[in-house]
Amino acid sequence: MFSGQAVSLNALENDLVELILDLKNESVNKLNTLTLSELDQAVSLLESSDVKGLLIISAKPAFVVGADITEFQGMFSLSTADLHQRISETHALFSRLEALPFPTVAAINGMALGGGFELALSTDFRVLASDARVGLPEVTLGICPGWGGTVRLSRLIDAAAATQWMLTGKPQKAKAALELGAVDRVVEVSDLRTEGVSLLQSAVKGETDYLAKRQSKQQVLENGAELKAMAVQMTKKLDPNYPAPHKILELVSNHVTLPFAEALVSEVDAFVALAKSDAAKSLVGLFMNDQLLKKKARGWIKQATPVKKGAVLGAGIMGGGVAYQSASTGTPILMKDIRDEALKLGINTATGLLNKQIEKGRLDEAGKQKVLGSIQPTLEYIDFHDVDIVVEAVVENPTVKASVLAEVEKSVPENAVLTSNTSTISIDQLAKSVSRPDQFCGMHFFNPVHVMPLVEVIRGSQTSDETIARTVAYAAAMGKTPIVVNDGPGFLVNRILFPYFNAFNRLLVDGVDFERIDRVMEGFGWPMGPAYLADVVGIDTMVHADHVMQEGFPGRMGHDADVVAEALLDAQHLGQKNGKGFYSYGKDENGRRFKKASAVAQDLIDIRIKTKVELTDQDIIDRLMIPMCLETVRCLDDGIVETPAEADMGLILGLGFPRFRGGALRYIDTLGLDEFTRRAEAHQVNGPLYELTEGFKARLAEGRTYY
């Protein structure tokens, strides 16, 4: 009947037709422009045919994973009117499918997400494989469902439940989908097509009322006031920086009492408004950046010799975390230390993390023992003869690290890769301690290892591609996101972080209250302000890294006043690790944890204030963000990182940069390079951290952006 590059129609017995989704040259089905065009042609043929029933099914392991997000940036850049028309056209297509003069069934395998689930919602019945998932994850991209999903799902199942599905964006299991009525049957995947045809035949014979099912998705609901009250309460708990959840609540609570056609129009209006928001541009951009990182990692992995056995030197917080992460993701690992009590601590750390997995129902006792059995604590190098990669994670001291690296190199195979989990020390400097510098690189994990997704893979001047490939492959096998960066003080993430801390110190000596600074920056979108972040990092760690950055970039990262963090360190205020930093930490009489401003910290700041400066909240934001953004620009200009996407993803994954802002370079683009220039020039009195780079000036003059 019809055969395209993504959609085909095949005639079945008894005047039934099968619409097969099979996007050529792709591993998954996506509702891209091609697929939607062919679907339109197929529906046109069906509208003028003598067909009695339609089954929609996928020839791939998943039904449809959603719209083609790679098309979003171009689509969202259309004018408001053109975008409205574009979305309305797909709405009209799905409504035509829904209005076919015969019953329709979607047989869903794998995943039906976003537009894929909206397509399935346009059919009369849905049969779901028992291991399949359905959902509307658009909120994670800063938008709402835009092809009828908010309307059809809220009328098909409980509107409050539908709203929760959309607010979380999480794929729903088959059991939940069936219980709520989002699907009609759940069957084993091997029976999916058979059951789909059976249900279709039942509807054709009149044994199942498909028109009643169709009408159930178009009914006007009567609990609008109740939903609006719920929306008001839920809105109070939402982050104002992310407009999509707010819009979804408002949209559903308003359109459930509207006629079906009007409700669909209101959804288009909401989608277009969100698609034009800065948050959507940033979040879609992050998705594209993530795809780039995965593509680059796959390229390295193809070149890599797989890691069958690893080793970590040091059983402290970082070493124990690396051992746990490696073993829990399937790569056995040796954990060496010079003290037996340290090894016990490392095993206890891993045991505690595994126990939490058991408590959450994600692991059983057998699984726990398997992971622990994959961690071999040792005081000797005797079993290092067959390791493929070593992660050195001893104290952050170049002399100690150099000694340990030289020592372990004698005990590993000649083709083994050595890495250092240093956060600041030059890889080229450490490479002088090994005889095979081409097989050495940095592998910088972030704390806590089991939580933080980023690993910086640092290439020294002599590091080979084979070494980078194996290290990237190992990081990926551990479930981490590796970003390859070049050597330099602070590498990528810490180099960008410390101008921010430097600017923070300047605000303190200008008399700006650190609690206010934290509130302002948390309002900007950071998970914590700079004072609290310093306490979490550790004041001693912060001071050490700051010295490295001052030595590496003395003209820019030196301080123009006393450093408050150094005074805190002298006063034995280490941050959270000893309960004293910018804040004091402890438990009250009821056992509840508290955090309050430290009087000692305030006294140390007060005696260092030169002249109190009156600043607006925006001044505080600019004073902190401009140095961070410009250092990101410098990292790109200096070749520390290859692309804007990698620079921004390093900040998102390593520092918790506000996702809705997309990273430092995306933030510059959102402001506009001319506006960023105006702000930077207004603050250049505060020193070289605020000076525009030549690369930035050239980009500004040429009218280019970073994306």
Task: Kindly list the domain boundaries of the chain, sorted by start residue.
Answer: 2-276, 304-487, 494-507+514-560+609-702
Spacing of C-alpha 677 from chain mean position: 29
Q: How far apart are CA 238 and CA 252, in angstroms?
A: 16
Each residue's pLDDT tens digit, 91-139: 999 999 999 999 999 999 999 999 999 999 999 999 999 999 999 999 9
Structure tokens at 633: 């620009």
Percent of the chain whose predicted confidence (pLDDT) is above 90: 94
Residue with tokens 């302002």: 520
Mean pLDDT of the region 155-170:
94
CATH no. for 494-507+514-560+609-702: 1.10.1040.50
Edge-to-edge strand ranges of the sheet holding 2-3: 2-3, 7-11, 16-21, 53-58, 104-108, 125-129, 185-187
Nearest-CA neighbor of 569 among 530, 601, 529, 598? 601
Each residue's pLDDT tens digit, 354-364: 999 999 999 99
Which one has a higher pLDDT value, 651 or 226? 651
CATH no. for 2-276: 3.90.226.10
Q: 304-487 is classed in which CATH architecture? A: 3-Layer(aba) Sandwich (3.40)
Is 444 among the residues known to form the active site?
yes
The single residue of 444, 547, 559, 573 carrying the catalytic annotation is 444
Pairing of strands 125-129, 185-187: parallel
Instruction: Give the chain's mean pLDDT.
Output: 96
Nearest-CA neighbor of 52 among 21, 13, 20, 7? 13
Provide the pLDDT for residue 272.
98
- Asked whether residue 588 carries a pLDDT value surpassing 90, the answer given is no
Provide the pLDDT for residue 223.
72
- DSSP percent split of the chain into helix, strand, coil, nearest 5: 55, 15, 30
Spacing of C-alpha 675 from chain mean position: 28
Provide the pLDDT for residue 603.
97
With beta carbons less than 8 A apart as the criterion, state whether 471 and 457 touch: yes
Q: How far apart are CA 395 and CA 179, in angstroms?
A: 54
- Asked whether residue 141 carries a pLDDT value surpassing 90, the answer given is yes
Each residue's pLDDT tens digit, 57-75: 999 999 999 999 999 999 9
Each residue's pLDDT tens digit, 236-276: 889 999 999 999 999 999 999 999 999 999 999 999 999 99
With beta carbons less than 8 A apart as the criterion, state whether 63 and 120 touch: yes
